[in-house]
Amino acid sequence: MRIAFALLGALLVLFVAVPLLWITLSAPPALLWQTLLDEEVQDAILLTFAASLAATVLAFVTGVPLAYLLARTDFPGKHLVEGIMDVPVVVPHTAAGIALLMMFGRRALLGRALGTLGLRFVSAVPGIVIAMLFVSLSFLVSAAREGFEAVDPRLERIARTLGASPWTAFWRVAFPLAWRNILSGMILMWARGLSEFGAVVILTYHPMVAPVLLYERFESFGLDYARPVATLIILICLATFVALRLVSRRER
């Protein structure tokens, strides 16, 4: 039985691994180097990283407390909140982009209000950030929630009897014990943010993040022009992902 299972499973593994290997191995290194020196490519990659990081930070500040509440308490409407946190995975990316545009666009209520404060979303970096935040927040919330659920609530109770306030018990006990899960949720969320195209392209075509740049080159100049950019982006994403995974695994 194990052999049959291994054969079937191998099909799936190869389906993922071979295209990625092929695209990275078939690119001439000189061409990759030249692409890396392209300033437009550099800007797009840096912008992608920075915007996704900003989205992750926003989700950390709001999502970790939410995850803690979902793990520890029962409240009316809890199932609804859980459902809402899963919805961004389900909503088609372009439709999510349109929905955000209707809230944060120049003609929209919230967009206009924030615009008077100097915060522009359409064709601007904040638009990229909220698009990434929307499509990737589920990852952090569910990972953090799992982390908190794995912490025995009696550890916090013991901390309370030893003189800790609820805050202290959270920071000294629950948070450090759930940190590994939270960190890997943040990594996954950040990586998912990097990869977003559909929602970002609706809100903000320019300045271009890497997936948009790639799409533009493919549309305007064809596959041969897009290939080195795609290879470079895949390599950078994989390298960062592997590095972060190793770091987070070494932690404790």
Judged by CB under 8 A, the chain residues 151 through 210 that form the site for other proteins are 152, 154-155, 157-165, 168, 172-173, 176-177
Instruction: State the binding string over 211-240 for a copy of itself (x if CB under 8 A, else -).
Output: xx-xx--x----x--xx--x--xx--xx--
154 binds, among a copy of itself, other proteins, none (CB under 5 to 8 A by kind): other proteins
Are the C-beta atoms of 199 and 134 separated by less than 8 Å? yes
| H-only helix segments in 77-165 | 78-90, 93-104, 109-116, 125-149, 153-161
List 36, 69, 125, 155, residue binding a copy of itself (CB under 8 A):
69
Are the C-beta atoms of 81 and 70 separated by less than 8 Å? yes
Using CB under 8 A as the binding rule, the residues of this chain from 70 to 89 that contact a copy of itself are 73, 81, 83-89
CA distance 25 to 119: 43
Give the pair of three-digit tokens for residue 101: 């545009």
List 39, 117, 167, 251, residue binding a copy of itself (CB under 8 A):
167
113 binds, among a copy of itself, other proteins, none (CB under 5 to 8 A by kind): none
List 32, 36, 57, 98, residue binding a copy of itself (CB under 8 A):
98
Report how many residues bind other proteins under the rule CB under 8 A. 18
Give the pair of three-digit tokens for residue 49: 């990283």
Q: Measuring CA to CA, which residue among 126, 85, 132 is closest to residue 104?
A: 126
List 57, 126, 164, 195, residue binding a copy of itself (CB under 8 A):
195
Give the pair of three-digit tokens for residue 204: 């903000």
157 binds, among other proteins, a copy of itself, none (CB under 5 to 8 A by kind): other proteins
Q: Measuring CA to CA, which residue among 58, 57, 81, 59 is closest to residue 70?
A: 81
The SS3 assignment for 83 reads helix
DSSP class of residue 202 equals: H
List 31, 42, 92, 119, residue binding a copy of itself (CB under 8 A):
92
Kindly state the smallest distance separating residue 168's Cβ from a copy of itself, in Å.
10
Q: Is the peptide bond before 207 cis (omega within 30 degrees of 0)?
A: yes
Contact residues toward other proteins (CB under 8 A) are 152, 154-155, 157-165, 168, 172-173, 176-177, 252
